[in-house]
Amino acid sequence: MATLELDYFRAVSLYRRRSYDQCAELCNALLQAGHDNNVQMFATKEGGEQEEQPQQQQPQQAETEGSRRFGSNLQRIGPRQQPQSQQKAVAASIMMPTWLMEGVWQLKMRALTQRVYLDDLEVDDAGEEQAHEEVEFERIATAARPGSSIKTAFQPRPSTSQRLAQRSSRGAGMAHSSDGRLNSSRPGSAAVARPGTSLSRPGSSLGARPASRCGTASRVRATSAAAFNVGDATSKLYQASRLNPTIYAERETLVKALFQFLYYHEADVQKAHSLCQAVLEVQRQRPIATGTDWWWQQQMGRCLLALHYPRRAEPCLQQSLAAFPHPDTYLLLSRLYQRLKQPERALVLIGEVVDLRPFDVTYRLEQARIHQAMERQEDSQQLYRLVARLQPINVEALASIAVGYFYDNNPELALMYYRRILSLGAHSAELYCNIALCCLYGGQIDLVLPCFQRALAMATQPEQKADIWYNLSFVAVTSGDFNLARRCLQLCLTSDARNGAALNNLAVLAAQGGDIMGAKSYLNAAKDMMPDAEEVTGNLQFMDLHYKL
């Protein structure tokens, strides 16, 4: 028993030192020992008084009483029946108490969650928001559902280009943008060329290309969690997403860790939402309110936002804000209003808390993002400069200021801010790509190719490689090597075949080389990828006027 407790406290020490891998491995060993010894877990309070009784003396009787007493609320790890030889070995071994088994289970959940944790408020999922329509549960449909009629049941599905056109038409209003942050794609990875550096034909550079994304926060968390589960000896025993959430609603010490595990590690928002509902239902039945009611209301709003139900999330977040003014609640409400195309309301909300806490960088950053999404670049740049004065090591503010200088034809000042970010240790493929473009337009030609090489070496996602090859094509155009530019754009399409900007520029290069049919084909493909792009439309009109095919 003392050995098991020593191992448990050693795992707690590893967790506090942020050695999550070693902590998870030690918890795996303890969980495997409990599984081999057939230890009961998550017993109710009635069974807590009899935890310390030796279970190996009457295994069949304890099993019968447990199934009758606890019913479906009893969760076990491991089989219920064992051969006689194994039962004797279990009786001779050291038994792990239930409280220790639950503590190890909770500690492993926390370690796995922290290992793949990504904050939703810091990682922008604007690209996914436009792909989902808002659902109104209070509105009654006046027409039959698609496919429910015999006349319309066998209509063909719309093509990909048609769905993209519908999505772009729905998102034509104000949408939240992450431009200016290091994980976004401006400048450089958005490939917006400086005025005067584009090709001679109109529309050779795409100025309104949507920011490419390398995966949303939930997708990155789920991918990382799946990778970490490879080789885990207790992964089959540790499937918390299959557990009934109503069992743990009354366990205050365990339920928070379980929610964070389901939401951040398992990426099972539906199960996390069910857990929130069960906990709130239990809290409503209590005569005295607890101090965590606001937290669960906030998490309910977070889950509903992730499930794309903003109107149902609004009352939950407002109740949480009325109970306790937590910064995350303000930010979640701001994102909710932006998703509802109400940026002015989000500005009013953030402005109220800024008046109370004028030196809090979190709210100033949110103000700057809203102004930037509303295309108020001067206001957003002033706020980013204020954040840089309040917190000189804020990477997002420094990157956004550099973006502003870059598009104001001041690549030298932008390069100064990017080098400052580089000195802080924030190395990424986007950063080196942006430094390379600043060096290109600032006249420091000797640093351009080494920075692009470093960016290609650090790129891990196909979208990142596509952006880097796209920007390298502008280096070739600046040097007058159109064959190299064409080759770079082809490599860009190899990584991202849906890159409309590369298809548009390939059409310009093909038209310049005399391949009119190839240029027309590239432009038609670019039109399918980006139906609302003005550059592609202008180039198609130019081809129709000057080239009779």
The top-scoring range by mean pLDDT among 198-202, 259-263, 396-400, 536-540 is 396-400
Statement: residue 170 has pLDDT above 80? no
417 confidence band (pLDDT: 50, 70, 90)? very high
Rg for the chain (alpha carbons), in Å? 29
- Tell me which of 115, 142, 165 is where a domain ends: 115
Q: How far apart are CA 19 and CA 13, in angstroms?
A: 9
Question: Is the pLDDT at 479 greater than 60, yes or no?
Answer: yes
* Residue 526 reports pLDDT greater than 70: yes
How do residues 418-456 score in pLDDT, each as one tens digit?
999 999 988 999 999 999 999 999 988 889 999 999 999
| pLDDT surpasses 70 at 276 | yes
- Token pair belonging to 548: 């009779």
Neighbours of 364 (CB within 10 A): 22
| Closest by CA position to 96, among listed 166, 179, 35, 161 | 35
How far apart are alpha carbons 275 and 258 in whole angstroms?
A: 9
Is 353 part of a structural domain of the chain? no
User: Is 530 a member of any domain?
Assistant: yes
Model pLDDT, residue 7: 87
87 lies in a domain? Answer: yes
Angle between helical axes of 327-339 and 361-373 (0-180°, round to 10): 10
pLDDT at 384: 95
Q: Is the pLDDT at 248 greater than 50, yes or no?
A: yes
Q: Which residues have C-beta within 8 Å of that of residue 539, sequence separation ≥ 6?
A: 201, 202, 203, 504, 507, 508, 523
Name the residue among 30, 44, 49 with its Cα closest to residue 94. Answer: 30
Amino acid at 399: A
454 residue type, one letter: R
Note whether residue 25 is domain-resident.
Answer: yes
Asked, for residue 503, whether it belongs to a domain, the answer is: yes
Residue 236 has pLDDT above 70, yes or no: no
State the burial class of residue 79 (Cβ atoms within 10 Å of its Cβ: 0-12, 13-18, 19+): exposed
Q: What is the DSSP string of 29-69?
A: HHHHHHHHTT-EES--HHHHTTTTS-TTSSHHHHHHHHHHH
Flag the least confident range among 21-30, 285-294, 303-312, 344-353: 285-294
Residue 504: inside a domain, yes or no? yes
Query: What span, in angstroms and rounded, lies between the C-alpha atoms of 284 and 278?
Result: 10
Domain holding 531, by residue range, is 459-549
pLDDT at 32: 80
Instruction: Locate 306 and state its tokens.
Output: 């992730």
> How confident is the model over 144-172, as a mean pLDDT?
40
Average pLDDT over residues 276-294: 81
Residue 366 lies in a domain: no
Q: How many domains does the chain have?
A: 2
For 131-190, give the DSSP string.
TS----SSSPPSSPPTT-STTTTTPPPPPHHHHHHHHHHHTTS-----TTSTTS-TTTTT
At 213 the pLDDT is 33
Q: Mean pLDDT throughout 242-259?
A: 82
Q: What is the pTM of this model?
A: 0.68
| Percent of the residues in the chain that have a pLDDT greater than 90, as a whole number | 38
Question: What is the rounded CA–CA span in Å between residue 25 and residue 104?
Answer: 11
* Mean pLDDT in residue range 404-413: 92
**Residue 57: its pLDDT value, please?**
42
Cα gap 12→20, rounded to integer Å: 10
In this predicted structure, the answer to whether residue 199 has a pLDDT above a threshold of 90 is no
Confidence band (pLDDT; 50, 70, 90) for 483? Answer: very high
The last residue of one of the domains, among 93, 115, 137, is 115
- Which amino acid is it at 94? I
Residues 6+ apart with CB under 8 A from 97: 1, 39, 51, 52
Report if residue 66 sits inside a domain. Answer: yes
Please state, rounded to an integer, the average pLDDT across all residues of the chain: 74
Q: What's the CA gap between 530 and 333, in Å, rounded? A: 31
Tell me the CA distances in angstroms from 150 to 141, 142, 144, 153, one per residue in order.
19, 18, 11, 5
| Banded model confidence at residue 238, pLDDT cuts 50, 70, 90 | low
- Of 115, 142, 161, which residue constitutes the final position of a domain? 115
pLDDT band at residue 292, thresholds of 50, 70 and 90?
Answer: low
Rounded CA separation 539/173 (Å): 25
More confident residue, 225 or 369: 369
Q: With left for phi above 0 and alpha for psi between -120 and 50, is residue 42 left, alpha or beta?
A: left
CATH code of the domain covering residue 522:
1.25.40.10
DSSP states of 209-254 = PPPP-S--HHHHHHHHHHHHTTT-TTTTT--GGGS-GGGGTT-HHH
Q: Residue 239's pLDDT is what?
A: 64
Distance of CA 523 to the CA centre of its chain: 33
- The answer to whether residue 153 scores a pLDDT higher than 50 is no
What's the one-letter identity of residue 65?
A: E
- 514 φψ region: left (φ > 0), alpha (ψ -120 to 50), beta (else): left
- pLDDT digit string (tens) for 347-390? 999 999 999 899 999 999 999 999 999 999 999 999 999 999 99
- Residue 457's pLDDT band (cuts 50, 70, 90): very high
Whole-angstrom Cα distance, residue 40 to residue 76? 5
Q: What is the pLDDT at residue 246? A: 77
- Residue 318: the pLDDT is 93
Which pLDDT score, from 0 to 100, does residue 367 have?
94
Q: What percent of the chain has pLDDT above 70?
A: 65
Count other Cβ atoms within 10 Å, centred on residue 181: 23
Is it the case that residue 66 has pLDDT exceeding 70? no
Question: Per-residue confidence at 266, pLDDT binned at 50, 70, 90?
Answer: confident
Per-residue three-class SS string for 267-317: CCHHHHHHHHHHHHHHHHHCCCCCCCHHHHHHHHHHHHHHCCCHHHHHHHH
Confidence label for 264 from pLDDT (cuts 50, 70 and 90): confident
Looking at residue 454, what is its pLDDT?
A: 94
- How high is the pLDDT of residue 117? 80
* Confidence (pLDDT) at 241: 59
Question: What pLDDT digit, counting tens, does each position of 14-48 carry?
Answer: 999 989 888 988 888 888 877 666 555 544 444 44
pLDDT at 405: 94
Tokens of 39: 């230890």
Q: Which residues make Cβ contacts (< 8 Å) with residue 204, sequence separation at least 6?
A: 198, 504, 505, 508, 535
d(CA 41, CA 240) in angstroms, rounded, equals 13
Which DSSP symbol is given to 194?
Answer: P
